[in-house]
């Protein structure tokens, strides 16, 4: 049964939660081990990126505010989810290979690895969101409880990323082409998603097609939560569509992973 893979994965996450957290902590720590600034790098990287955006677009190009919102704030609100999503997807692609020594030599639940990547990347996302809020504050924009709605969209993002992660991480074990292909798709995805541009500038006729990209929903959602304060239930149809796609990915990913997993140790 196709859904069985996902149910079992969910059970494993509970069973192995201690190992999961230990591995995620290790992932985060290994990014900074041996560096002097350590954890500060989590903030430095997005901060510099935002600074560059601000300088290039607001100072350099004199980009007009988007619907009365400073361009840099408007951009950062969309960059935040994209940044973590692309990080999860790219790192999940090779995660099975990265942990090959454990999969081959110990009894190891490889299905939790994608979640390890998700958890470890969430740290950077937290930093990004904190900077976004600082930026909003600096621009004198209002605070709102709608900020909390971003957690819902984050959840959407994680479900989508898990499905995709399980799918590509397991297929990549057999066809390493995936690890070459994924960065390309991520690159294209960045420009195909309304991050640097707004849906409203597109002609009505192609807007429908652009909304088929499930990540469009998440990016719009982050802006709704931090800038426009629009609740998600106002996008009923989009919500329904997103969850359909996300569940399709989750089911396919879980099924493919469960199907390929028994042979991992043979191939690695």
Q: Please report, as ranges, the residues that interact with other proteins according to CB under 8 A.
A: 18-19, 22-23, 26, 29-30, 33-34, 101-108, 171, 174-176, 259-260, 262-263, 265-267
Structure tokens at 98: 């990265």
- 89 or 103, CB closer to other proteins? 103
- Smallest gap from residue 214 Cβ to other proteins (A): 24
- Smallest gap from residue 29 Cβ to other proteins (A): 7
Work out the widest C-alpha separation in the chain, in whole angstroms. Answer: 58
- 48 or 267, CB closer to other proteins? 267
CA-only gyration radius of the chain, Å: 19
- 33 or 148, CB closer to other proteins? 33
- Smallest gap from residue 44 Cβ to other proteins (A): 20
- 1 or 237, CB closer to other proteins? 1
- 24 or 136, CB closer to other proteins? 24
- Smallest gap from residue 174 Cβ to other proteins (A): 5
How is 166-197 classified by DSSP, letter by letter?
HHHHHHHHH-THHHHHHHHHHHHHHHHSTTSS
- Nearest of 228, 226, 221 to residue 243 by alpha carbon: 221
User: Measuring CA to CA, how many Å separate 199 from each of 190, 192, 209, 210, 219?
Assistant: 14, 11, 11, 8, 11
Cα dihedral across residues 26, 31, 37, 42: positive or negative: negative
- Smallest gap from residue 176 Cβ to other proteins (A): 8
Q: In sequence order, which residues have a C-beta less than 8 Å from that of residue 262 and are 6 or more positions away?
A: none
């Amino acid at each position: 049964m196709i859904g069985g893979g996902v149910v079992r994965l969910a059970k494993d996450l509970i069973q192995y939660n201690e190992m999961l957290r230990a591995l995620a902590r290790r992932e985060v720590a290994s990014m900074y081990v041996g560096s002097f600034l350590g954890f500060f790098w989590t903030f430095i990287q997005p901060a510099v990126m935002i600074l560059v955006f601000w300088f290039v677009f607001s100072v350099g190009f004199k980009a007009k505010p988007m619907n009365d919102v400073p361009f840099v704030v408007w951009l950062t609100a969309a960059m935040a989810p994209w940044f973590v999503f692309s990080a999860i997807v790219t790192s999940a692609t090779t995660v099975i290979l990265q942990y090959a020594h454990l999969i081959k030599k110990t009894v190891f639940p490889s299905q939790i690895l994608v979640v390890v990547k998700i958890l470890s990347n969430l740290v950077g996302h937290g930093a990004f969101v904190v900077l976004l809020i600082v930026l909003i504050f600096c621009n004198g924009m209002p605070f709102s409880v709608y900020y909390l709605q971003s957690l819902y969209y984050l959840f959407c993002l994680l479900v989508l990323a898990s499905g995709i992660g399980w799918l590509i991480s397991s297929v990549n074990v057999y066809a390493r082409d995936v690890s070459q292909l994924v960065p390309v798709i991520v690159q294209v995805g960045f420009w195909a998603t309304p991050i640097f541009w707004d849906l409203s500038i597109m002609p009505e006729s192609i807007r429908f097609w652009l909304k088929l990209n499930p990540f469009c929903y998440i990016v719009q959602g982050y802006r709704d939560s931090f800038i426009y304060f629009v609740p998600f239930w106002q996008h009923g149809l989009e919500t329904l569509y997103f969850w359909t796609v996300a569940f399709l990915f989750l089911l396919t990913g879980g099924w493919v992973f469960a199907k390929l997993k028994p042979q991992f140790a043979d191939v690695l």
